[in-house]
């Protein structure tokens, strides 16, 4: 029996911790980058940001390997461990999809010259950018936390929905602050190829929208094994009805 239904081994046991490490690393990168770019001079923090983004790739590769290696430990998604695996797999595959955005962030932090124009730009947007970054990080952690016990209850869904609305609200606030700065101060809004001042704001907006896209279907997530069980029950019921 142990051959067909093995006990959970190392991979599935540390899967949540590895997912947490990746999530913490992503949120830390965004928080440090926003704080650094909203400063007024170059510091060694840019090196920390660059190294953190480089190390993230290793952490993501390790996590993906654990996810692949732990599938058989759940016997194809059966039981609580199977649901937990499905949730973490769905979460991780979506959460790290936005890793490429961080390369733009890495370049932005590394090349920042902190000109007068850049300092003026980020002074006006610092508060809404920090709030959007925090709201998005909170939403990401809520989605991850819901994976821990292998189920998403109504309270968790309500918290996630509130966090989604918070991210949407903070996104609007950032856009309003940007529009107000442009109209009041006459700061030009060039394309990304003409100035790197706008790269971080656009990247942050893209990331927050992407995490919202992860969280919204999260509320209607259906487990593969549950679908199989439900289908089997329906077929069994129909068989019984037509047999008599």
pLDDT the model gives residue 231:
42
Give the C-alpha separation, 30 to 37, whole Å. Answer: 11
Asked if pLDDT for residue 241 goes beyond 60, the answer is no
Asked if pLDDT for residue 81 goes beyond 70, the answer is no
The share of the chain scoring above pLDDT 70, in percent, equals 73
Residue 91 in domain: yes
Average pLDDT over residues 102-122: 87
Asked if pLDDT for residue 4 goes beyond 60, the answer is no
Per-residue three-class SS string for the chain: CCCCCCCCCHHHHHHHHHHHHHHHHHHHHHHHHHHHHCCCCCCCHHHHHHHHHHHHHHHHHHHHHHHHHHCHHHCCCCHHHHHHHHHHHHHHHHHHHHHHHHHHHHHHHHHCCCCHHHHHHHHHHHHHHHHHHHHHHHHHHHHHHCCCCCCCCHHHHHHHHHHHHHHHHHHHHHHHHHHHHHHHHCCCCCCCCCCCCCHHHHHHHHHHHHHHHHHHHHCCCCCHHHHHHHHHHHHHHHHHHHHC
Average pLDDT over residues 112-134: 90
More confident residue, 154 or 33: 33
Asked if pLDDT for residue 114 goes beyond 60, the answer is yes
Q: What is the CATH number of the domain that holds 73?
A: 1.20.58.220
Q: Among 42-46, 131-135, 218-222, which range has the highest average pLDDT? A: 131-135
Average pLDDT of every residue of the chain: 78
pLDDT the model gives residue 74:
59
Query: What are 41-78's pLDDT values in tens digits?
Result: 899 999 999 999 999 988 888 888 887 776 666 555 55
pLDDT the model gives residue 113:
87
Average pLDDT over residues 157-186: 88
Range of the domain at 104: 10-243
Residue 171 in domain: yes
More confident residue, 84 or 18: 18
Asked if pLDDT for residue 234 goes beyond 50, the answer is no
Residue 213 in domain: yes
Asked if pLDDT for residue 34 goes beyond 90, the answer is yes
Residue 3 in domain: no
Number of domains within the chain: 1
29-38, 74-83, 125-134: which has the minimum mean pLDDT?
74-83
Asked if pLDDT for residue 96 goes beyond 90, the answer is no
More confident residue, 25 or 234: 25
- Give the pLDDT band (50/70/90) at residue 12: low
Contact (CB, 8 A) for 95 and 147: no
């Amino acid at each position: 029996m142990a051959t067909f239904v093995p006990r959970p081994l190392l991979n599935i046991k540390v899967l949540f911790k590895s997912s947490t490490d990746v999530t913490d690393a992503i949120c830390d990168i965004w928080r440090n980058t926003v704080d650094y770019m909203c400063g007024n001079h170059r510091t060694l923090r840019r090196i920390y940001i660059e190294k953190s983004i480089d190390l993230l790739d290793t952490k993501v590769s390790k996590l993906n390997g654990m996810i692949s290696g732990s599938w058989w430990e759940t016997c194809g998604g059966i039981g609580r461990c199977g649901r937990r695996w499905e949730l973490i797999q769905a979460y991780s595959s979506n959460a790290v999809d936005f890793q490429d955005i961080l390369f733009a962030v890495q370049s932005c932090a590394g090349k920042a010259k902190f000109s007068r124009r850049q300092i003026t730009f980020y002074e006006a947007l610092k508060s809404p950018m920090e709030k959007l970054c925090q709201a998005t990080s909170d939403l990401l952690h809520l989605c991850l936390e819901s994976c821990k016990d292998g189920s998403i209850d109504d309270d968790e869904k309500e918290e996630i929905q509130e966090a989604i609305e918070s991210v949407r609200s903070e996104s609007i606030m950032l856009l309003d602050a940007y529009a107000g700065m442009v109209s009041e101060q006459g700061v030009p809004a060039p394309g990304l190829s003409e100035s790197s001042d706008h790269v971080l704001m656009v990247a942050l907006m893209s990331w927050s929208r992407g995490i919202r896209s992860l969280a919204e279907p999260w509320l209607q997530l259906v487990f593969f094994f549950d679908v199989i069980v439900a289908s089997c029950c329906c077929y069994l019921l129909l068989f019984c009805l037509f047999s008599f």
